[in-house]
A and B are shown apart, each in its own frame.
Chain A
Amino acid sequence: NAGVTQTPKFRILKIGQSMTLQCAQDMNHNYMYWYRQDPGMGLKLIYYSVGAGITDKGEVPNGYNVSRSTTEDFPLRLELAAPSQTSVYFCASEKGTMNTEAFFGQGTRLTVV
């Protein structure tokens, strides 16, 4: 049982490049989330999904896109990378929203130069 798997663990991008951060969970959870965490701060929600085919914006969605074609996968797309997107990105999943716990991946550390 792998839980939530994120790839890659580290990445350096040049300004203007694009990339996709991968996230997969094997717990058959309906809810999935993408967060970013800047140094010394708490997590900020980028996008979330309540099930396959359904996504919605979180607190800081600008510069990102997501899709959810399957229950298991929830990739995050960065278009035209900017230095402000340098951060650690965490993917999470959970069964529901109340009275449930979220499981987190180990993160992707992204640097845009």
Chain B
Amino acid sequence: DAKTTQPPSMDCAEGRAANLPCNHSTISGNEYVYWYRQIHSQGPQYIIHGLKNNETNEMASLIITEDRKSSTLILPHATLRDTAVYYCIVRVRDSNYQLIWGAGTKLIIKP
């Protein structure tokens, strides 16, 4: 079973920041938080990952709480092309570090 909890769907206005929450209250100290997205049934696309510190790349920012029990993916200026299903995944050590996928959050960017 997935070790994360995400809202099933969210809306965001185009040009605004999209903030996608994820709860992972049972995360262990050496387990990473990963974010992928899947646009219209294409192959999933890697976005970002982190362990303890906040991370930023050209696509997004990842904010991890100090206790590591939750995180937020931020798309700073959402566009219509960011409409996708976003998956928050904890890389689980006791499953040989496999990615365990939940149902994700369907993010809809509205014009």
Contacts and interface: CB of A to CB of B under 8 A. Distances in A.
Contacts of A42: 2, 87, 101-104
Contact of B46 (A40, A88, A99, A102): A102
B99 A102 contact: yes
A78 interface: no
A98 B32 contact: yes
Q: Which of B34, B44, B51, B102 has the most CB of A within 10 A?
A: B44
Contacts of A43: 44, 99, 101
Contact of A107 (B36, B42, B97): B42
A45 B41 contact: no
A97 B44 CA distance: 17
A106 interface: yes
A98 B97 contact: yes
A101 interface: yes
Contacts of B104: 42
Contacts, number: 53
Contact of B41 (A4, A48, A58, A107): A107
Contact residues on B (Cβ < 8 Å of other chain), bracket: 20 to 34
B28 to A, nearest CB: 12
A42 B55 CA distance: 25
21 contacts: A33-B98, A42-B87, A42-B102, A43-B99, A43-B101, A44-B101, A56-B96, A97-B91, A97-B97, A97-B98, A98-B32, A98-B97, A99-B51, A101-B34, A101-B49, A103-B46, A104-B43, A104-B44, A105-B43, A107-B41, A107-B43
Interface of A: 4, 33, 35, 40-45, 48, 56, 58, 88, 90, 92, 97-99, 101-107
Interface of B: 2, 30, 32, 34, 36, 41-46, 49, 51, 87, 91, 96-99, 101-104
